[in-house]
Amino acid sequence: MGEMLIETGTQSDHKFTQGFHQPILKLTTIQDLQVDLLLEIYPNPATEQLNIQLENFEPGYSFQLYDALGKLLLTEPLLSSNKVIPFNSYSTGLYFLVFTKGDNEKLKTFKIQKSH
């Protein structure tokens, strides 16, 4: 989208000006497929570490950490109801923490902000 081409000047002296283009917008949807996954994630925004506490832990849960561009940074199984992710090596920005069960069945997605 942008402005249309505009003609200025007289018949013999035509000048054309052009509008600006809007940036391309990308939309991200976050869909929770299972709402009975009870967990806490803190602090958010994170600085040094990110804590995960599951209230209803079951074997077979795992998580994936993605950056804002969708690059997979970390994937691990959850072996207990408490997990600490070291966050000090990550750059300031936006991350997505996706919880899965079994054969990559997505359960819940969290948006995590990393600050300095």
Q: Is residue 102 part of a domain?
A: yes
Q: Is residue 67 part of a domain?
A: yes
Spatial neighbors of 48 by CB under 8 A, at least 6 apart, are 86, 87, 88
Residue 10 pLDDT > 80, yes or no? no
Number of folded domains in the chain? 1
Q: Is residue 2 part of a domain?
A: no
Q: Is residue 70 part of a domain?
A: yes
Reported as a single tens digit per residue, the pLDDT across 71-85 is: 999 999 999 999 999
Q: Is residue 58 part of a domain?
A: yes
Spatial neighbors of 99 by CB under 8 A, at least 6 apart, are 37, 39, 61, 62, 63, 106, 107, 108, 109, 110
What pTM does this model have? 0.69
Q: Is residue 73 part of a domain?
A: yes
Check which CATH number belongs to the domain holding 75 and give it: 2.60.40.10
Note down the domain range covering 106: 28-114
Reported as a single tens digit per residue, the pLDDT across 15-31 is: 655 555 555 656 566 55
